[in-house]
Amino acid sequence: PAGPPLLQLLSPLSASSPVARQLDKPRPAFAHLALAVADIHAAYAHLASLNYQLLDPAPRPGSHGTTVFFVHPKSPAEAPLGYLLEIVQDPTA
């Protein structure tokens, strides 16, 4: 079952931070999209098997006790998503 939506507003910590670089790009809407999964290791293995470009060598600790990994916006090569994806597993969900 899906949980409640979460909107997270980000502010750059410096002019050269990853958030600042994202905000400098001429695109509407949002910098990245986060998707919640029940089994982050299975999600990582599945996306890796489909040749998605994963930006983390393995799922890693995220904020607020979550586990996360990121998917490159130009992935998959045959049909790029166009946005950075954050895959999240929340232990409280």
CA–CA gap between residue 35 and residue 82 (Å, rounded): 15
Amino acid at position 36, single letter = A
For the domain that residue 64 is a member of, what is the CATH number? 3.10.180.10
Structure confidence by residue, pLDDT tens digits, 19-29 = 787 777 776 55
Residue 12 lies in a domain: no
Given this model, what pLDDT does residue 2 score? 58
User: In this model, does residue 1 exceed pLDDT 60?
Assistant: no
Residue 72 lies in a domain: yes
Residue 77 lies in a domain: yes
Residue 22 lies in a domain: no
Structure confidence by residue, pLDDT tens digits, 30-89 = 678 889 999 999 999 999 999 999 999 999 999 889 999 999 999 888 888 888 899 999
Residue 74 lies in a domain: yes
Strands 84-89 and 32-36: parallel
Structure tokens at 65: 């006790």
Residue 82 lies in a domain: yes
